[in-house]
Structure 1
Amino acid sequence: MPYTLSAAKLQTYYHCPQAYYFRYERRIQGAAFFGSAALGTSLHQALAQIYQDWHYQDAIPRYEWIEYCWSRQNKDLTANQMAEGRSILKRYYTDFIVSQSV
């Protein structure tokens, strides 16, 4: 079976041989395939809401508040992305909010 080259393949190789290898030789999908932009945007929006509406008289906001902010942001995400985002926010909550308040 002959190996075909296209303008897109050549351009990818020209810009980044490593990207060419992963995309065309290993057949690994790019970030757009995995929806990382949508997940990242939703996480940033949730964090913005958390910090914008956080009443600083409360030393530590309740985790339910974090969950509420996340639930308002994840409308266009898959179930796996929603679970991953929830996990990321939970880790952020324990590592950066709770631990900084002690």
Structure 2
Amino acid sequence: MLTDTIKRFEESQPGTTSFMAFADGCLATAEQDSENAAALILLAMAAREFVDQVQDQPLSLPEAEAGRDRLIGQARKVAASANGDAGEKLAVANRIALDQIGQSR
């Protein structure tokens, strides 16, 4: 299911609507995949935070594409670790969290 969400996000126009749809897709996946819920919820929060940060200003295409590419990269790591052990899943979730701290500054 996450791979479908990633594919739709990749194929969408990079605007706030596609970021919110990506967030919704991650949350829907988290409801069905409790083993990976933490990382999926972090992805959703990152997408929504991106929208919040650009809400009051025009969103340039390069900025939107960079944000989308960053989230897609993170989502691919979550998908790749989905069948891994708990340590691998935690490492991916931690990386997403730390990346978000860096983006918020």
Question: Do both share a fold (TM > 0.5)?
Answer: no
More helix by share: 2
TM-score, length-scaled by structure 2: 0.30
Structure scoring higher RCO (CA < 8 A, sep ≥ 6) equals 2
TM-score, length-scaled by structure 1: 0.31
Which structure's CA Rg is the greater one? Answer: 1
